[in-house]
Amino acid sequence: MKQIGLKICRICGIYIIIDYSWIVFFPLLTYSMAETFFPEAHQGYSRLWCWLMGMTATMLTFVSILIHELAHSWVSIKRGIKITTIRLFIFGGMAETASEPKDGRDEFLIAIAGPAASILTGVLFVFAYISTMAYINPIPTIIQWVAVVNLALAFFNLAPGFPLDGGRILRAFLWDHFNDMARATRIVGRIGDALAIFLIVLGILQMIFSQNFLTGIWFVCIGFFTKQASGGAVHAVTMTTMHERTPRITVGQLMKKNPVTVDWLITVNQFAEDYLCKYFFTEFPVVNRNELIGIVTIAEVMAVTEKLRDFKQIRNIMIPLEQVVGVRPEDDVDSVFECMLETEAECVPVIEEGRFAGIILRRDVINYTKIKAALKN
């Protein structure tokens, strides 16, 4: 799937993408800080200082949202769910996954991770604010703002409406109660719609009766964003439910259960001669006493000069397991294939209950795709 937005970096194999809505968000938040918050907090400061403080506060807000989403992603990966990208929107972020949580427990742990990280970050900044109160401004004021942002981000996300984290937590409980993810999503989606309407109405009332146009606009925009995201999530689950009866191929049906592996202690030249030239693969799993510890590709070999290939071992050049995203045997092959195309991976390790179960090759998936297309036609 083509990602719309500005790709800024890659963290632990996850692409960080800024949605184009940040073109609106960054100057709007900076203006709010520079013209409202900081002038009221420090009336003796010049306008230039207030704008510099506003830009700094906005950047730290961006970092806070990123930390929130990275927490979701970290728990997702630990639960065996591949994270392809993190998209930062105008009012928050969203981690895009290659598969859905397998049960309510996974959903709960993933959803609660974001608010927990924001609360922890906020508490740390509270202590930092207390420690710097005696110092010259504007440092304490900016730290205070970041603390408030993180705590507000946590508690707002705990509201029980989809797609907020609170809505996902409620969906986890309903999922376990009904044993029906689609039904739970529809219920929480309706709550999300109600929350969105409430925010829109609240924003309009703010503008009419309090003459607080800036706050009112924020509430209205957040309401519309929540309504759109809630409807999109419910629609996605509905479409998934419609296709549940369609036969699908899982990773476990295509994976190689006894793949060729490379010992981490052999030299780069040995690897080139005994593996690359023998099996004609460009990627191999690396093991230490049958335990998967990473992946080595032809790109890492080409990066080593010819003089050093007899001295350097595979463990010196391999991609460590922490940077390798695995899949589960029950994952859908079509979703895995999309991820392989995005990352240009030749093979992906299959992890079952924490152990190395095999690999799935891109060429096998391509052959399956060709056969499926031929039968369909």
- Using one digit for the tens of pLDDT, what is the confidence trace for 255-314? 888 888 999 999 999 999 999 888 878 889 999 988 899 999 888 898 898 889 999 999
| Stretch among 4-8, 269-273, 274-278, 324-328 having the lowest mean pLDDT | 4-8
Residue 244's pLDDT is 47
Question: pLDDT category, 232, cuts 50, 70, 90?
Answer: low
pLDDT score of 1: 40
Q: Between residues 94 and 121, which one has the greater pLDDT?
A: 121
Position 222 pLDDT exceeds 50? yes
Q: What is the mean pLDDT of residues 44-58?
A: 84
**Whether pLDDT at 28 is above 80:** no
106: pLDDT strictly greater than 80: yes
Q: Find, among 224, 347, 263, the residue nearest to 297 by Cα.
A: 347
Mean pLDDT of the chain: 81
Contact between 304 and 288 under an 8 Å Cβ cutoff? The reply is no
Model pLDDT for residues 164-199, shown as the tens digit of each residue? 888 889 888 888 888 877 788 888 888 888 888 888
The pLDDT value given to residue 341: 74
Q: Residue 9, by phi and psi: left (phi above 0), alpha (psi -120 to 50) or beta?
A: beta
At 235 the pLDDT is 60
More confident residue, 175 or 369: 175
Task: Select the highest-mean-pLDDT range: 31-35, 45-49, 76-80.
Answer: 76-80
Domains of the chain: 6-242 (no CATH), 251-376 (3.10.580.10)
Q: How far is CA 12 from the centre of its chain?
A: 11
CB contact at 8 A, 226 and 95: no
Please say if the pLDDT value at position 125 is more than 80: yes
Q: What is the pLDDT of residue 152?
A: 87
Measure the CA–CA gap between 346 and 365, rounded to whole angstroms.
10
| Unique residue bearing structure tokens 């439910």 | 241
Q: How many CB atoms lie within 10 A of CB 3?
A: 14
Measure the CA–CA gap between 200 and 203, rounded to whole angstroms. 5
| Three-class SS state of 346 | coil
Q: What pLDDT score does 265 carry?
A: 94
Instruction: Return the pLDDT at 17.
Output: 83
The amino acid occupying position 78 is K
- Which of 224-228, 315-319, 343-347 is most confident? 315-319
At residue 327, the pLDDT reads: 87
| 296, containing H or E segment | strand 291-297
Answer whether residue 24 shows pLDDT above 60: yes
Interatomic CA distance for residues 353 and 74, integer angstroms: 17
Q: Which of 26-40, 90-104, 118-132, 218-232 has the highest mean pLDDT?
A: 118-132
Please report the pLDDT score of residue 160 as a whole number: 81
Average pLDDT over residues 33-62: 81
Q: How confident is the model at residue 159 (pLDDT cuts 50, 70, 90)?
A: confident
Closest to 95 measured CA to CA, from 14, 23, 154, 168: 14
- pLDDT of res. 267: 94
Tens-place pLDDT, residues 237-268: 555 554 444 456 888 888 888 888 999 999 99
pTM recorded for the entire structure: 0.58
According to the model, what pLDDT value does residue 241 have? Answer: 53
